[in-house]
């Protein structure tokens, strides 16, 4: 459409127009310079360095922070006045949420994390799942006779252990983390599973050859947990003691009885998985408690200002503090 603003009458496209339309465009075409983006601010002129004056009372000056938020595409300061009062959309959405909305978000976030654990475990077991799928789709005579038992058992074992490793490494916790951190936990869980499979092969080989059974360190040792982002906060002995101390005596005895019924090589894995689940549940409880505290403070403010709602009155009658 650049020919609309051209002052030349020799344009081929313009000459092919109807005479009345050509006259209309000639009369209505805008005149003057075309609008353009504001130019990049000119750099400040260099100042002659001056000898600093000694001063013992003046505090050290800090460099001014940029007024342009990261959402702006112009990092050189253009449109800084328009961004001065900008508020991100997620902040506005958070301000408009009620206590019920915040509680629903916490529960939904926890449920989403639980679904993510299953999805990520399935991704790590993609090869085992493909073997099972191909067995059911095009089985051999031997696989028909066994109903793909070996392939199904291999996939179920992979999925179960990958799920436990992810929980033990902190994938279920409610803390915010980047995609890179989540991917790191996923890759480390798969690495631990492959390490466990290799150890089982060596043990089986030693039994077949009549050699002494090799001893291996647990794949969920403190060192392996510390190699991940989430493991640094939940894999320590202090964190473990704190989690167990939050349980009632009956619940603790129930967990200890469950662990004692497992083989020794599975007890550490199951224990770390339980700790990961308890840490995630504890984090959700803390977030819910923070919402109730905030709701209580808001109720007290409304009561002092004489703006208590019907819901505030009902909660007071029910004994809410």
Number of alpha helices (DSSP H) and beta strands (DSSP E) in the chain = 14, 0
CA–CA distance, 76 with 39 (Å, rounded to integer): 10
Identify which of 264, 243, 285, 255 has the alpha carbon closest to the alpha carbon of residue 107.
285
HSE, CB side, 13 Å, CA atoms: give it for residue 131: 14
Task: Tell me which H or E stretch contains 236.
Answer: none
Rounded to an integer, what distance in angstroms lies between the CA atom of residue 181 and that of residue 172?
13
Tens-binned pLDDT, residue by residue, of the chain (321 aa): 444 444 444 455 566 667 776 776 777 666 656 556 556 656 655 555 555 554 444 444 444 445 666 777 777 777 777 777 777 777 777 777 787 888 888 888 889 999 999 999 999 999 999 999 999 999 899 888 998 999 999 999 999 999 999 999 989 987 788 889 899 999 999 999 999 999 999 988 998 888 888 888 888 877 666 665 444 444 444 556 667 777 788 888 888 888 888 887 788 888 889 888 888 888 888 888 888 787 788 778 777 777 777 776 666 666 666
CA distance 248 to 252: 6
Contact 67, 80 (CB under 8 A): yes
Q: How many CA atoms lie within 13 A of 77 on its CB side?
A: 7
Distance (Å) of CA 55 to CA 43, 51, 58, 59? 30, 12, 6, 9
DSSP character for 58? S
């Amino acid at each position: 459409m650049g020919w609309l603003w051209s002052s030349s009458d020799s344009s081929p496209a313009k000459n092919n127009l109807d005479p009345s339309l050509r006259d209309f465009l000639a009369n209505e075409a805008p005149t003057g310079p075309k609008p353009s983006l504001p130019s990049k601010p000119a750099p400040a002129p260099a100042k002659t360095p001056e000898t600093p004056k000694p001063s013992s009372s003046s505090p050290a000056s800090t460099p001014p922070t940029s007024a342009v938020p990261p959402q702006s595409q112009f990092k050189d300061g253009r449109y800084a006045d328009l961004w001065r009062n900008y508020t991100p959309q997620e902040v506005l959405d958070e301000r408009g949420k009620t206590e019920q909305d915040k509680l629903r978000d916490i529960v939904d976030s926890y449920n989403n994390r639980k679904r993510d654990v299953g999805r990520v475990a399935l991704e790590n077991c993609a090869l085992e799942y493909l073997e099972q799928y191909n067995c059911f789709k095009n089985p051999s005579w031997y696989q028909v006779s066994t109903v793909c038992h070996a392939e199904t058992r291999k996939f179920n074992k992979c999925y179960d252990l990958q799920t436990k490793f992810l929980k033990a490494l902190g994938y279920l916790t409610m803390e915010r983390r980047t995609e890179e951190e989540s991917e790191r936990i996923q890759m480390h869980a798969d690495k631990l599973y492959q390490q466990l499979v290799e150890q089982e092969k060596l043990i089986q080989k030693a039994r077949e050859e009549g050699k002494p059974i090799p001893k291996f360190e647990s794949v969920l040792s403190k060192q392996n947990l510390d190699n991940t982002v989430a493991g640094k906060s939940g894999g320590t002995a202090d964190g473990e003691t704190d989690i167990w101390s939050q349980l009632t005596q009956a619940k603790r005895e129930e967990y200890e009885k469950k662990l004692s019924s497992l083989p020794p090589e599975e007890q550490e894995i199951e224990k770390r998985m339980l700790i990961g689940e308890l840490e995630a549940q504890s984090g959700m409880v803390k977030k819910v408690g923070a919402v109730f505290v905030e709701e209580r403070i808001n109720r007290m403010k409304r009561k002092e200002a004489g703006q208590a709602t019907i819901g505030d009155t009902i909660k007071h009658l029910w004994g809410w503090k």
